[in-house]
Amino acid sequence: MELNQKLRSLSDKNKMSSKINRLLCYLGGVLFMVTYLVNCGFYSMAGSIPPHIRSISIPLLDNETAEFGISEEITDNLLEKFTDENILRVVDEENSDSILRGSIIQAEDIPYTYSKEEVVGEYRFTISIDVEWVDVANDKILLQKIFKGWGAYGIGGDISTDEIDNDGDGLTDDEDSDEIGDARSFATKIAVGKIAQDILNDILTTW
Ligand SMILES: [Ca+2]
Ligand SMILES: [Ca+2]
């Protein structure tokens, strides 16, 4: 009787451990698939860029506008995005296979909505950059385009209560944890972030 019980509990334990083994195998398989997909995603994107181009440099952008300090802000944002994405190595100009040059051609507060009394309710701080991506070895332009980005703000100045979706993400004021701080600098950050993302997307999909 006692022996039977022991045998039964032993076989239960075996069943349990084989279940655990199966689960581990399954999890291993899932992990392998995820790693595989992530790696393939990375290589297929990197593989779409000409193979001799492995690095990029982004010199300080020219500023053709009267907006002070904007070239530093945009250049820093571009450097950060490209470093994060890690598709091309970000290096200095002397050692790079490709150079991303840009000129800021517009930085303006454009009235976007008006009240019945013709008073501006919402501005869009709009930035345009003329960008050129150059293949250094072949002295060839790989991409040339004007990129535009904007961030919205009202005249009240407080973007957390202005009833405007300042970054265009579908969330307004207290629904959006981003909508705090100075209106104009927030709009700049949004415009610049969007431009940097668009440039990166274009570089990745052009090839
Ligand atoms: Ca928002
Ligand atoms: Ca807002």
What's the CA-to-centroid distance between 200 and ligand 2, angstroms? 27
Phi, psi of 154 (to 5 degrees): -95, 180
> pLDDT tens across 7-28, in order?
666 666 666 667 767 766 666 6
Of the two residues 41 and 90, the one the predictor is more confident about is 90
Q: Do 20 and 65 share a domain, yes or no?
A: no
Of the two residues 64 and 7, the one the predictor is more confident about is 64
Of the two residues 25 and 205, the one the predictor is more confident about is 205
Question: Are 154 and 147 contacting, i.e. CB atoms less than 8 angstroms apart?
Answer: no
- Total count of domains within the chain: 2
Q: Do 75 and 18 share a domain, yes or no?
A: no
What's the CA-to-centroid distance between 64 and ligand 1, angstroms? 29
Of the two residues 189 and 2, the one the predictor is more confident about is 189
Of the two residues 25 and 193, the one the predictor is more confident about is 193
> pLDDT tens across 159-169, in order?
999 999 999 99
Q: Do 123 and 160 share a domain, yes or no?
A: yes
> pLDDT tens across 130-146, in order?
999 999 999 999 999 99
> β-strands 120-135, 98-114: how paired?
antiparallel
DSSP alpha helices (H): ranges in the chain?
2-46, 70-85, 183-206
Q: In this predicted structure, what is the pLDDT of residue 145?
A: 94
Give the model's confidence band at 157: pLDDT under 50 very low, under 70 low, under 90 confident, else very high.
confident
Torsion sign, CA atoms 178, 184, 188, 194: positive
Q: What average pLDDT does range 181-195 have in this prediction?
A: 86
Q: Do 19 and 116 share a domain, yes or no?
A: no
Question: Are 183 and 153 contacting, i.e. CB atoms less than 8 angstroms apart?
Answer: yes
Of 126, 134, 166, 115, whose CA–CA distance to 150 is shortest? Answer: 126
Residues with CB under 5 A from ligand 2 (ion): 159, 162, 164, 166, 173, 179
What's the CA-to-centroid distance between 62 and ligand 2, angstroms? 31
What's the CA-to-centroid distance between 91 and ligand 1, angstroms? 34
| 74-83, 169-178, 184-193: the lowest-pLDDT one | 184-193
Ligand nearest to the CA of 161: 2
The winner for highest mean pLDDT among 78-87, 135-144, 176-185 is 135-144
What's the CA-to-centroid distance between 175 and ligand 1, angstroms? 8
What's the CA-to-centroid distance between 173 and ligand 2, angstroms? 4
Q: Do 146 and 110 share a domain, yes or no?
A: yes
Give the model's confidence band at 43: pLDDT under 50 very low, under 70 low, under 90 confident, else very high.
very low
Ligand nearest to the CA of 190: 1
Q: Do 32 and 133 share a domain, yes or no?
A: no
Give the model's confidence band at 32: pLDDT under 50 very low, under 70 low, under 90 confident, else very high.
low
Q: Do 64 and 109 share a domain, yes or no?
A: yes
Q: What average pLDDT does range 39-43 have in this prediction?
A: 45
What's the CA-to-centroid distance between 191 and ligand 1, angstroms? 13
Domain extent at residue 142: 54-206
DSSP E strand stretches across 47-139? 55-57, 62-63, 89-90, 98-114, 120-135
Q: Do 186 and 138 share a domain, yes or no?
A: yes
What's the CA-to-centroid distance between 190 and ligand 1, angstroms? 10
Ligand nearest to the CA of 175: 1
What's the CA-to-centroid distance between 187 and ligand 2, angstroms? 11
* Token pair belonging to 203: 């570089």
What's the CA-to-centroid distance between 108 and ligand 2, angstroms? 20
What's the CA-to-centroid distance between 195 and ligand 1, angstroms? 17
Q: Do 70 and 122 share a domain, yes or no?
A: yes
161 DSSP 8-state letter: S
- The mean of the pLDDT values for the chain is 84
